[in-house]
């Protein structure tokens, strides 16, 4: 008896050890299948809203049958009946949810069960929520007989633990999906986004931030911490981040000048909703900055599309808005002053303006909502 209880305790430890670790569920499923004298098994979580398997692990099951089940039978005729059951419900051949006759005539039996030589099954509802359903399915062939009281007693001590572990695993999966979606959205931004703590340790950086930090343009990563290009800039950055993390200020900004670029760095406290797989803490700081060259290119593209300008006209208009003279622009573009004047005159016509000051106002009002580069 002691050995039996010890084996049960070990299995329960395995069940809780599988939370957040999909690879461990294979061992758990194999142990449960052996305990119930089954031949094949499947454990899964069904996302009811998306009608897909959020998580699935099979034991002695060809993955193609799991895929076939998800594609054709996940929302089959059994689902409404199963949805009437609560978590912890155990169905065996003594109390089936469908008669053998009905089962053998179903498409599910023909497509999935019959090719696997499955005839008898035990089903345990291990998660039952409005948007998710979790099931443990253990099966065997006709030759090995029905799942009866002995098999039911073998799994019953595990059911409460399976229900609890599956619920926690589902929460983990939901958090991971949320984290992945947030990270993916941030990676698509042209602005750099960094989440760091009050000591400037970098906890997350989106794709743009990683690229700029690796290039050591304006900001850089030193031993995993956010730093400026010089010691003075690093000190200014650290002070601002600490002030926001310590709730001395809601937001802060610093301007970091390099030989030929200017980086405007904005800081604010990261909200609890910005999890990104991190435990929400009061001292997390959201740091955002951008690539000046990319900003200018993006702003020029906005002007080109919104004001129907040519690419060069947009560049000239944006340069004027930055305070450059027409001679400066001519030198930068490598063209004559008269050529720049021609572009400006064309831009005046398209924007229905006649003075540079009016054109600058149009430029600022157009690119303002998109971020003035």
pLDDT (mean) for 6-16: 89
Q: 368 pLDDT band (50/70/90 cuts)? A: low
| Domain limits, the chain | 2-178, 189-290, 294-370
CATH of the domain spanning 2-178, picked from 3.30.450.80, 3.40.50.1000, 3.40.920.10, 3.10.110.10: 3.30.450.80
Least confident of 98-107, 147-156, 273-282, 310-319: 273-282
pLDDT of 372 reads: 47
**pTM, two decimal places:** 0.58
107 has pLDDT over 80: yes
The pLDDT tens digits for 16-47 are 999 988 889 999 999 999 999 999 999 999 99
Buried b vs exposed e over 117-145: b needs ≥16 C-beta within 10 Å?
ebbbbbbbbbbbeeebbbbbbbbbeeeee
Q: 370 pLDDT band (50/70/90 cuts)? A: very low
293 has pLDDT over 70: no
Range of 69-78, 94-103, 151-160 with top mean pLDDT:
151-160
**What are 343's two structure tokens?**
């572009």
Diameter of the chain by CA atoms? Answer: 98
pLDDT of 337 reads: 93
Q: 93 pLDDT band (50/70/90 cuts)? A: low
Establish whether domains 2-178 and 294-370 are of one fold: no
Least confident of 41-50, 135-144, 317-326, 361-370: 361-370
Average pLDDT value over all residues in the chain: 84
Angle between the N-to-C axes of helices 356-367 and 311-321, in degrees from 0 to 180, rounded to the nearest 10: 100
pLDDT of 280 reads: 46
The pLDDT tens digits for 170-196 are 988 888 887 788 778 778 777 788 999
273 has pLDDT over 50: no
Residue with the bigger pLDDT between 205 and 363: it is 205
pLDDT of 369 reads: 44
Would you give the distance in Å from CA 25 to the centre of its chain? 22
Q: Where are the alpha helices (DSSP H) in 144-221?
A: 149-155, 159-187, 207-215
272 has pLDDT over 80: no
Interacting residues of 30 by C-beta distance below 8 A, sequence separation 6+: 41, 59
- Assign 40 to helix, strand or coil: strand
Cβ count within 10 A of residue 151: 23
Q: What are phi and psi of 123, to 5 degrees?
A: -120, 130
Q: 312 pLDDT band (50/70/90 cuts)? A: very high
The pLDDT tens digits for 227-238 are 998 999 999 999
336 has pLDDT over 80: yes
What is the per-residue DSSP string for 43-72?
Answer: EEEEETTTTEEEEEEEES--HHHHHHIIII
Cα separation, 55 vs 126, whole angstroms:
13
- Structural contact between residues 144 and 25, judged by C-beta atoms closer than 8 angstroms: no
Domain 189-290 coded CATH 3.40.50.360: no
Domain 294-370 coded CATH 3.90.320.10: no
pLDDT of 158 reads: 93
pLDDT (mean) for 267-278: 58
In 3D space, the residue among 146, 127, 144, 143 whose CA is nearest the CA of residue 135 turns out to be 127
Least confident of 95-99, 117-121, 251-255: 95-99
pLDDT of 14 reads: 93
pLDDT of 279 reads: 46
């Amino acid at each position: 008896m002691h050995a039996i209880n010890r084996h049960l305790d070990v299995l329960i430890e395995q069940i809780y050890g599988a939370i957040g670790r999909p690879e461990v569920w294979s061992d758990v499923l194999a142990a449960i299948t052996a305990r119930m004298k089954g031949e094949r098994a499947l454990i899964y979580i069904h996302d009811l809203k998306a009608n897909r398997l959020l998580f699935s692990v099979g034991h002695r099951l060809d993955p193609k049958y799991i895929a076939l089940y998800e594609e054709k039978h996940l929302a089959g005729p059994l689902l409404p009946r199963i949805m009437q059951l609560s978590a912890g419900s155990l169905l065996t051949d003594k109390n089936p949810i469908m008669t053998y006759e009905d089962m053998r005539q179903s498409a599910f039996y023909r497509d999935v069960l019959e090719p696997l030589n499955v005839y008898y099954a035990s089903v345990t509802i291990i998660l039952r929520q409005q948007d998710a359903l979790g099931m443990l399915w253990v099966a065997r062939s006709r030759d090995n007989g029905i799942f009866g009281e002995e098999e039911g007693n073998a799994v019953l001590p595990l059911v409460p633990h399976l229900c609890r572990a599956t619920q926690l695993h589902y929460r983990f999966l939901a958090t991971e999906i949320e984290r992945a979606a947030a990270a993916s959205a941030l990676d698509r931004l042209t602005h750099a986004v960094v989440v760091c703590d009050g000591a400037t340790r970098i906890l997350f950086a989106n794709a743009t931030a990683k690229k700029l930090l690796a290039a050591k343009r304006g900001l850089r990563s030193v031993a995993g911490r956010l730093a400026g290009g010089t010691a003075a800039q690093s000190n200014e950055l650290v002070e601002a981040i600490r002030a926001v993390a310590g709730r001395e200020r809601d937001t802060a900004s610093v301007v970091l000048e390099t030989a030929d670029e200017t980086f405007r760095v904005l800081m604010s406290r990261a909200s609890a909703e910005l999890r990104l797989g991190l435990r929400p803490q009061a001292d997390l700081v959201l740091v955002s900055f951008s690539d000046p060259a990319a900003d200018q290119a993006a702003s020029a593209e906005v002007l080109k599309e919104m004001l129907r300008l040519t690419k060069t006209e947009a560049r000239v208009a944006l340069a004027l808005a930055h305070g450059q003279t027409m001679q400066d622009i001519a030198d930068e573009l490598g063209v004559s002053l008269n050529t720049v004047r021609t572009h400006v005159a064309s831009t005046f016509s398209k924007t229905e303006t006649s003075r540079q000051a009016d054109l600058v106002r149009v430029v600022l009002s157009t690119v303002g909502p998109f971020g003035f580069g």
